[in-house]
Amino acid sequence: MDALALPAVPAPDVEARRAAVARHGSLAVPAGGLGRLAELGCWLAAAQGACPPRPPARARVVAVAADHGIAEAGVSAYPPGTTARQVAVAREQALPVSVLAPVAAASVRVVDVALDTEPGEGRYRVRRGSGRIDRVDALTALETTTALTIGRTLVDEEVDAGADLLIPAALGIGATTPASTLVAAVTGTEPVAVVGRGSGIDDTAWMRKAAAIRDALRRTRPHRDDPLALLRAAGGADLAALTGFLVQAALRRTPVLFDGLVVGAAALLAERLAPGAREWWLVTQRSPEPAMALVLDRLRLRPVLDLQLRLDDGTGALAVLPLLQMAARLLAETATMADSGIVPVGGGRG
């Protein structure tokens, strides 16, 4: 698969959405009574091309793991090298995303794309860590396209294996620094306006993070209209893989739930590479990271919840997955006015 030669993104099924809206209008509930649950059901119907939609039964979290050289600058509350331990805890079913996955009837896959460990794991490994973006490029041009292709391949594998909904996620110490840099570069925002607390950093670390983003942004100036060059200069293997993942999910007509700044930054670049991909994504919760507000505004996406989560491991998306399953069942199983005899005065809605 050539990451640079992308086909046009198909649109979700407009007729299925219209049918879902019409069906909601016939249900024996007050007009607008189901609120955003109705919106979720209509979104899922369009993504599946069917009304009523099926509750997602084979949701899959795919978390890409990578280390970032910028962690050496003290931009995280955790020391460099902690990512490998995060991966181990996830595989021990003790990370938040792993704990919630069975509750939401989902499963979790963790993929090492750039952990700073030796040896690496398998064919998805792009490199050992990513470059320190305030000084050097995160990746080479070849590594960037390789990571994009890996992300697309992961989607193909999951969809071909039967996944009916995907949740991209990230594990990586220091990852919100390149993510914030990419958001600032795409949106033309000053560094201090995108710097958040990430892993829970104090004021001193916040200032180090702001300086790192400032210096990385200077390096991106020639590339602000080139998504691949931005990923190379100031992203990382995880961000590039997530970009490819989000593009391919749309190309494969597969609904995506996501939250978190790292995936959000990748989403900005994915929409630039494949316009229309955003129609296949649902943002599940509003991150307190300031850069994520810019992502939502640029992509014109409205989060379902505001849980104030700063995690990037997919926890917020899993918290919303049961709501999506409920929305599908409400659309399919709620009695209509005609069936129930519950009709407003005058036969209209009010």
pTM of the model: 0.96
Q: How far apart are CA 134 and CA 217, in angstroms?
A: 8
Residue-level pLDDT at 347: 63
CB 236 within 8 A of CB 129: no
Structure tokens, 301:
């996406």
Residue 33 is given by DSSP the state: T
Partners of 167 in the β-ladder: 61
Domains within the chain, CATH numbers bracketed: 14-53+331-347 (no CATH), 59-321 (3.40.50.10210)
Mean pLDDT by 10 residues, the chain (350 residues): 76 98 94 95 98 98 97 95 95 96 97 88 89 98 98 98 98 97 97 93 96 97 95 98 98 97 98 98 95 97 95 96 98 93 73
3-class state of residue 52 by DSSP: coil
Give the tens place of pLDDT for each residue, 173-190.
999 999 999 999 999 999
Q: What is the pLDDT of residue 123?
A: 85
